[in-house]
């Protein structure tokens, strides 16, 4: 079968990127990826089940390797961005590589004559810094990074998408740009590289939390996020578009209820009692990952994916299926203590 064309996926070892590479390959595209260290190349190919995947060493903070990676490509899926498992001491440790990496990907893609760049942004660039009562968020909303409702990761995603759009307006003539803005991405795992958002499920299954915090999040399946990236890559009339990928907003207690109802003894460590806000704040002093999410206590951030559904015919799996598939996959891959 002749290839449909060549697509570069940045951050090939990452969670979302892996599913994009698999889907593109299934659909007949020639795929390439970037990794920060080629020493991991065989591990990445094995996890993805793509033994012939061509990988290039390229980093968000350096020009080295980018020209070679993008040469001859029709499209670029720019997925690579730093995702912390703790709040950094200096927010620029996140903001600078996220912003500079986006601009680097655009610059080299443009120089290579790429038709369109699809970039993974985030609900983080949409749903923060808004007064209460918060609206149901749409693509028209933007996070206000100056607002105290934001923190380093939120600002990094906001600044990088803003910078990408500004660069395209000033220098991107002849190339198209689209962003995909997912909520908390859950679902099955391909290997040990998975999004920080999966810590939600992992810590519930591990019994690592003494109770259920008053925190919630919109949920979307990694397979559906990958599908949205692939759809927007070639759909006509997409230049400048922005697409939210977000299902129902669920509280930790609702996620725990799904695990208890569907997993039986596999969910025996999942807590059932509520965790008071004051106790979570104490726990956060000793746990950097928990400390990162304490600003979300009690906050509801709902968003609509209607734009992607009506424009692209995109659909989402039920959130309960995503949660169960994520949990079973973490257990089967040995990523949760049995």
Query: Any idea which fold 6-188+219-248+302-317 has?
Result: Rossmann fold (3.40.50)
Q: What angle do CA 122, 126, 127 make, to 5 degrees?
A: 105
**From the centroid of its chain, how far is CA 30?**
23
Per-residue pLDDT, 256: 97
pLDDT for 208 beyond 80: yes
Q: Give the least confident one: 2-16, 46-60, 97-111, 282-296.
A: 282-296
Residue 286 to residue 50: CA distance in whole angstroms = 40
Least confident of 66-70, 107-111, 141-145, 206-210: 206-210
pLDDT of residue 111: 98
Give whole-number Cα distances, 49 to 6, 18, 21, 259, in Å: 18, 10, 10, 29
In the structure, what pLDDT confidence band is assigned to residue 338 with cuts at 50, 70 and 90? low
Task: Judge contact between 95 and 158, C-beta under 8 A.
Answer: no
Reported as a single tens digit per residue, the pLDDT across 181-199 is: 999 999 999 987 777 889 9
Q: Is the pLDDT of residue 85 over 90?
A: no
Instruction: Say yes or no to pLDDT of 84 above 80.
Output: no
Alpha-carbon span 124 to 305, nearest angstrom: 15
Across the strands, what pairs with 54? Answer: 32
Tell me, yes or no, if 157 is annotated catalytic: yes
Burial class (CB in 10 A: 0-12, 13-18, 19+), 29: buried
pLDDT tens for each residue of 128-157: 999 989 999 999 999 999 998 898 999 999
Q: How many CB atoms lie within 10 A of CB 218?
A: 24
For 305-316, what is the mean pLDDT?
A: 98
Contacts of residue 197, Cβ cutoff 8 Å, sequence gap at least 6: 184, 185, 186, 217
| Contact present, 159 and 103 (Cβ < 8 Å) | no
> For 258-273, what is the mean pLDDT?
96
The full DSSP string for 286-299 is: T-HHHHHHGGGTT-
Give the chain's largest Cα–Cα span. 60
Distance between CA atoms of 31 and 125, rounded to whole angstroms? 28
For the chain, give the mean pLDDT.
Answer: 94
The C-alpha atoms of residue 79 and residue 159 are separated, in whole angstroms, by: 15
Q: What CA–CA distance (Å, rounded) separates 338 from 336?
A: 6
**322-336 mean pLDDT:** 95
Bridge-based pairing state of the strands 216-221 and 249-251: antiparallel
Ranking 211-220, 281-290, 307-316, 327-336 by mean pLDDT, the lowest is: 281-290
Banded model confidence at residue 277, pLDDT cuts 50, 70, 90: very high
pLDDT at 1: 60
Counting every residue written for the chain, the total comes to 338
Catalytic residue among 115, 157, 260, 299: 157
Query: What are the helix (H) ranges across the chain?
Result: 15-26, 41-48, 66-70, 92-111, 152-171, 199-206, 222-234, 252-263, 277-284, 288-293, 306-312, 319-332
The mean per-residue pLDDT over the stretch 322-335 comes to 96
What is the Cα–Cα distance from 10 to 69, expressed in whole angstroms?
9
What's the pLDDT band for 288 if we cut at 50, 70, 90? Answer: confident
- Is 230:27 a contact under the CB 8 Å cutoff? yes
Determine the pLDDT at residue 22. 98
Q: How far apart are CA 264 and CA 322, in angstroms?
A: 17
Contact (Cβ atoms closer than 8 angstroms) between residue 257 and residue 50 = no
pLDDT at 244 over 70: yes
């Amino acid at each position: 079968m002749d290839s449909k064309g060549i697509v570069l996926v940045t951050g090939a070892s990452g969670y979302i990127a892996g599913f994009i590479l698999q889907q593109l390959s299934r659909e007949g595209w020639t795929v390439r990826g970037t990794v920060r260290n080629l020493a991991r190349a065989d591990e990445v190919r094995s996890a993805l089940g793509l033994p012939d995947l061509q990988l290039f060493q390229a980093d968000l903070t350096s020009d080295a390797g980018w020209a070679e990676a993008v040469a001859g490509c029709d499209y670029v899926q720019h997925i690579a961005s730093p995702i912390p498992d703790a709040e950094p001491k200096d927010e620029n440790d996140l903001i600078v590589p996220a912003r500079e990496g986006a601009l680097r990907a655009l610059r080299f893609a443009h120089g290579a004559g790429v038709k369109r760049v699809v970039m993974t942004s985030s609900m983080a660039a949409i749903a923060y810094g808004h007064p209460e009562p918060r609206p149901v968020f749409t693509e028209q909303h933007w996070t206000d990074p100056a607002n105290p409702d934001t923190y380093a990761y939120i600002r990094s995603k906001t600044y990088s998408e803003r910078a990408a759009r500004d660069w395209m307006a000033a220098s991107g003539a002849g190339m198209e740009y689209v962003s995909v803005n997912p909520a908390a991405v859950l679902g099955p795992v391909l290997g040990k590289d998975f999004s920080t958002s999966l810590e939600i499920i992992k810590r519930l299954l591990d019994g690592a939390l003494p109770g259920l915090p008053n925190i919630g999040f919109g949920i979307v399946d990694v397979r559906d996020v990958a599908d949205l990236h692939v759809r927007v890559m070639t759909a006509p009339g997409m230049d400048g578009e922005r697409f939210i990928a977000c299902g129902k907003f669920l509280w930790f207690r609702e996620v725990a209820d799904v695990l208890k109802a569907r997993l039986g003894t596999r969910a025996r460590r999942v807590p059932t009692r509520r965790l008071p806000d004051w106790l979570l704040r104490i726990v956060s002093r000793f746990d950097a990952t928990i400390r990162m999410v304490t600003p979300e206590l009690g906050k509801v951030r709902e968003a609509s994916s209607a734009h992607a559904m009506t424009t692209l015919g995109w659909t989402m799996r039920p959130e309960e299926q995503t949660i169960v598939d994520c949990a079973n996959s973490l257990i089967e891959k040995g990523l949760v203590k049995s």
